[in-house]
Amino acid sequence: MTPKEELERSREYSRGEVDREPSVSSTKKKTMLSDADGRRCPTCGTVMRYLDGVKFGHERPEAATLEHINPTCLGGSNEERNLTVRCNLCNRASGHAMNEWLQRYQHRPPWNERERMIEYLWLEVHDDSKAKELSPDFFRSFRRKRESMTANKGKGGEKIAKRSAPRNGPSKTGRKSGGNRGNNAPRKK
């Protein structure tokens, strides 16, 4: 499941032994996002688009976004093993579901729950059928968030297109990249 190094780093972070990682360098981020242009999201199969220099929010579900699989708020690193590129819709849904989970614990979940969430997030990216099987509560939360975001209207009133159902099995697209569970550019105001 989760690489041992990421779990150990998260445990050290939860004890205050290591600091939170800084943001991923803009060069690394740009490279990973541009490499993902035309590839499929490892979670839902949407063909992702690299929107170089374009500011966007929820209205661009197909935008390639960088994300930490194990988020930096849980002690995740900037190592390649922990970075992935996902479509904007899956990245946002995962972030919203995780933020709700964090709120239940007032942003201080006990270690056993942190470990469980980190393992789920790893599976969400690499093997969603296993994620559903081993963590059905987290999986349902992610799917509900994704479905509610899909049903919402985008800017200008256009309906956000529904994406294909999640693939079953491990990602065939290789490592992706991630960051702060957000967009690759700031939102339009």
Q: What is the CA radius of gyration of the chain?
A: 16
Distance CA 45, CA 107 (A): 31
Six-digit token string for 116: 């469980």
> Hey, what are 104's tokens?
């239940």
Which residues make Cβ contacts (< 8 Å) with residue 3, sequence separation at least 6?
81, 82, 122
Taking the complete model, does pTM exceed 0.85, yes or no?
no
For the chain, what are the domain ranges?
4-157
- The per-residue pLDDT string of the chain (189 residues; one tens digit each, 9 = 90 and over) reads 568 999 999 999 999 999 999 999 999 999 999 999 999 999 999 999 999 999 998 899 999 999 999 999 999 999 999 999 999 999 999 999 999 999 999 999 999 999 999 999 999 999 989 999 999 999 999 999 999 998 864 443 334 444 434 444 443 444 333 333 344 444 444
Give me the residues paired with residue 159 across strands.
153
